[in-house]
């Protein structure tokens, strides 16, 4: 993120100066215009001159979501915005988040709307959060809008925690399996290698394969590790290319089990965000454009973007989404019902709840398949190494007995 010092003019003709953080100049201009300001001067500041604020990170965003919920409760209780913000800042344990919220409090006390102050903190608040706060300010129900925002952020964080915690055990099993195999190749097999090389007897093919693998790991292990690290870094740089990311996401959606799981996770996140925005009285075209940014899969994001363009031109929502085929059939049914009953926001929220439960079930099923599969694979690999060694030893015994 780069810190920009700006000078701008608001819609009412008053001037505005300050600093904001953005990825580049284009993002900085978009953030100002989104908050009703036309930039006159925009200068990127050197890193050492920028406002010293550490990045929020994932935990920081969770802390910010909790603070939004507290702020909503305080506003609903009748407190003034600046007083509610001050109390919310005092309750934050994360010092980095507290510093960012203190900046927002200062901006609000200087007369800036809350949505504009939030827009200057993109590490903490997404464009969706800013739009919901702005909608609440426009209709005079800021507390209600923040309550809805806090609920959406909490549900999104809960889904993210579910996915991460569900994958811990399979990943741990994979690490243990690799560690056990390397331990045998590096330390166990070499103990028998000297005995095998001292005899002229022809070794079984399986034993030769295991010994060759052990020698390669010992002689070229560091080279292979560096090559693997280089391949990972090269892959990370390659994925920055839109075409490669699109191909990766398309392949991921076609994978059995995993593809449908990704589709439903993305759809749940999209539906919850879109439903919260619509219930917050954000227009459907703008809500679609903002909800699209929550999608990490480029195939789904591209399809939603095309639908959003059609909605701006007066088209419908459900029919083009059904034609695209990127969303689960269950989602199309909920969307169609929501459009027909004029309860689209409520139906989207219910759809997100249903998909969250389905994702939880599918994750449990996937882990139920992965866990025994990894365990069996580890057992078979270790047994194969031991069998290859024992076959050579038994061959020596048979030779000794026959002689």
Give me the tens of pLDDT residue by residue for the chain, a chain 403 residues long. 567 777 777 766 666 666 676 767 777 777 777 767 777 777 776 543 334 444 555 567 777 788 888 888 888 888 888 888 888 888 888 788 888 888 888 888 888 888 888 888 887 887 777 877 877 887 778 888 888 888 877 877 777 787 788 788 888 888 888 888 888 888 888 887 777 766 656 777 888 888 888 889 888 888 988 999 999 999 888 888 888 888 988 998 888 888 888 899 889 888 888 888 888 777 888 888 878 877 888 899 888 888 888 888 877 888 888 888 888 888 999 999 988 888 888 899 899 889 988 988 888 888 888 888 888 888 888 888 888 888 777 766 554 455 4
Beta strand spans in 51-109 (E): none
Q: Is 38 helix (H, G, I), strand (E, B) or coil?
A: strand
Tokens linked to 53: 């604020």
> What's this model's pTM, rounded to 2 decimal places?
0.68
Q: Distance between CA atoms of 289 and 285, rounded to whole angstroms?
A: 6
Q: Name the helix (H) or strand (E) containing 22.
A: strand 15-22
Extract the tokens encoding 181: 């195999």
Residues 149-154: contacts with CB under 8 Å, at least 24 apart: 149/68, 149/72, 149/276, 149/280, 150/65, 150/66, 150/68, 150/69, 150/72, 151/69, 151/276, 152/272, 152/273, 152/276, 153/61, 153/64, 153/65, 153/68, 153/129, 154/65, 154/69
């Amino acid at each position: 993120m780069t810190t920009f010092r700006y000078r701008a003019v608001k819609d009412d003709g008053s001037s505005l100066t300050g600093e904001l953080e953005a990825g580049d100049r284009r993002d900085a201009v978009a953030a100002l215009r989104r908050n009703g300001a036309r930039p006159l001067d925009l200068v990127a500041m050197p890193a050492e001159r920028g406002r010293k604020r550490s990045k929020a990170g994932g935990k920081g965003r969770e802390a910010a979501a909790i603070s939004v919920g507290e702020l909503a409760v305080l506003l609903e209780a009748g407190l003034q915005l600046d007083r509610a913000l001050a109390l919310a800042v005092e309750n934050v344990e994360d010092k980095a988040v507290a510093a960012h919220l203190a900046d927002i409090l200062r901006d609000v006390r200087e007369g800036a709307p809350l949505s504009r102050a939030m827009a200057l903190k993109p590490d903490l608040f997404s464009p969706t959060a800013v739009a919901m706060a702005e909608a609440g300010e426009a209709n005079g129900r800021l507390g209600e809008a923040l309550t809805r925002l806090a609920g959406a952020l909490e549900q999104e964080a809960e889904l993210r925690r579910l996915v991460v915690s569900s994958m811990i055990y399979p990943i741990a099993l994979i690490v243990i399996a690799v560690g056990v195999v390397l331990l045998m190749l590096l330390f166990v097999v070499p103990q028998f290698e000297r005995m095998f090389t001292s005899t002229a007897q022809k070794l079984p093919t399986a034993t030769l394969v295991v010994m060759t693998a052990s020698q390669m790991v010992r002689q070229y292990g560091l080279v292979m590790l560096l090559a693997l690290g280089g391949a990972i870094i090269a892959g990370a740089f390659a994925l920055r290319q839109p075409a490669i990311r699109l191909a990766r996401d398309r392949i991921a959606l076609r994978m059995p089990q995993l593809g449908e799981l990704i589709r439903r996770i993305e759809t749940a996140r999209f539906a919850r965000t879109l439903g919260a925005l619509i219930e917050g009285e954000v227009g459907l075209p703008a809500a679609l454009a903002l909800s699209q940014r929550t999608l990490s899969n480029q195939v789904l994001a591209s399809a939603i973007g095309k639908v959003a363009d059609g909605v701006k031109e007066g088209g419908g929502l459900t029919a083009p989404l059904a034609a695209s085929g990127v969303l689960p059939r269950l989602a199309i049914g909920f969307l169609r019902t929501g459009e027909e009953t004029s309860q689209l926001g409520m139906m989207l929220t219910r759809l997100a709840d249903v998909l969250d439960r389905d994702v939880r079930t599918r994750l449990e099923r996937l882990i139920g398949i992965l866990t025994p599969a990894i365990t069996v694979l580890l057992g078979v690999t270790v047994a194969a190494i031991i069998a290859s060694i024992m076959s050579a030893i038994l061959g020596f015994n048979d030779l000794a007995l026959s002689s």
